[in-house]
Amino acid sequence: MQPIQGEGYLVEFDPNGDRVRMSGSLRLGGLSEYAPISDLLDQAIDGREALTLDLRALEFLNSSGIATLSKFVIHVRNGKTCQLTVVGSNAIPWQGKSLNNLKRLMPSLELVFDA
Amino acid sequence: MSVKDPYVKVLDLEQTLADLTAMVDQLQQERSDLEIALTTAIEHGDAIEAQLETANRQLKNEVRERLIVERQLRDLVTTITQKSRDLEVVLQTITEHADQIDLQWLGRYIESENAARRDSLTGVANRRMFDECMAREWARARREREPVALLICDVDFFKSYNDLHGHQAGDDCLRRIAEILQSVLHREGDLLARYGGEEFVILLPNTDLKGALQVAESVLRAIRQAALPHGASSVADHLTVSIGVATQVPADADENALFAEVDRLLYIAKQQGRDRIATVSNVPPDTP
**Are residues B72 and B97 located together in one domain of the fold?**
yes
Cβ neighbours of residue B142 under 8 Å, at least 6 residues apart?
A: B249, B250, B251, B252, B253
**Are residues B132 and B264 located together in one domain of the fold?**
yes
Q: Is B100 on the interface with A (CB under 8 A)?
A: yes
**pLDDT value for B280:** 85
Interchain pair B97, A98: CB under 8 A: yes
Q: Is B183 on the interface with A (CB under 8 A)?
A: no
**Residue A115: pLDDT above 80?**
no
CATH of the domain at B248: 3.30.70.270
**pLDDT value for A1:** 84
Catalytic residues of B: 198
ipTM of the complex: 0.80
Interchain pair A67, B98: CB under 8 A: no
Interchain pair A101, B103: CB under 8 A: no
**Are residues B73 and B143 located together in one domain of the fold?**
no
Buried b (16+ CB within 10 A) or exposed e, B79-103: eeeeeeebeebbeebbebbeebbee
Domains of chain A in start order, with CATH, are 4-114 (3.30.750.24)
What proportion of chain B, given as a percentage, has pLDDT over 70?
96
**Are residues B112 and B134 located together in one domain of the fold?**
no
**pLDDT value for B1:** 46
**Are residues B154 and B19 located together in one domain of the fold?**
no
**Are residues B56 and B8 located together in one domain of the fold?**
yes
Q: Tell me the residue range of the domain where B269 lies.
A: 127-279
Assess if residue B152 is contained within a domain.
Answer: yes
Measure B81 CA to nearest chain A CA, in Å: 13
Mean pLDDT of B138-158: 96
**Are residues B22 and B86 located together in one domain of the fold?**
yes
Mean pLDDT estimate for chain B: 93
Cβ neighbours of residue A12 under 8 Å, at least 6 residues apart?
A: A3, A4, A20, A21
**Are residues B260 and B135 located together in one domain of the fold?**
yes
Mean pLDDT of B251-278: 94
Give contacts of A93 with chain B, Cβ < 8 Å.
100, 103-104, 107
Q: Which residue in B75, B82, B86, B93 has the most chain A C-beta atoms within 10 A of its own C-beta, making it the best mutation to test that interface?
A: B93
User: What digits encode the pLDDT tens for the residues B219-240?
Assistant: 999 999 999 999 999 999 999 9
Assess if residue B285 is contained within a domain.
Answer: no
Length reported for chain B: 288
Q: pLDDT tier at A102 (50, 70, 90 boundaries)? A: very high
Task: Tell me which of A115 and B66 has the higher pLDDT.
Answer: B66
Assess if residue B249 is contained within a domain.
Answer: yes
User: What digits encode the pLDDT tens for the residues B85-120?
Assistant: 999 999 999 989 998 888 888 888 989 988 999 999
Assess if residue B59 is contained within a domain.
Answer: yes
Among chain A residues, the shortest Cα distance to B94 is held by: A63
Q: What is the DSSP string of chain B?
A: -----HHHHHHHHHHHHHHHHHHHHHHHHHHHHHHHHHHHHHHHHHHHHHHHHHHHHHHHHHHHHHHHHHHHHHHHHHHHHHHHHHHHHHHHHHHHHHHHHHHHHHHHHHHHHHHHTB-TTT-SB-HHHHHHHHHHHHHHHHHHT--EEEEEEEETTHHHHHHHH-HHHHHHHHHHHHHHHHHH--STT-EEEEEETTEEEEEEET--HHHHHHHHHHHHHHHHHHT-B-TT-SS-SB--EEEEEEEE---SS-THHHHHHHHHHHHHHHHTTSSSEEETTTS-TT--
- Give the domain-ending residue among B56, B88, B116: B116
The angle formed by the CA atoms of residues A23, A96 and A32, to the nearest 5 degrees, is: 50
**Residue B163: pLDDT above 70?**
yes
CA distance B174 to B197: 9
Split into its structural domains, chain B has a count of 2
Q: pLDDT tier at A88 (50, 70, 90 boundaries)? A: very high
Mean pLDDT of A104-114: 94
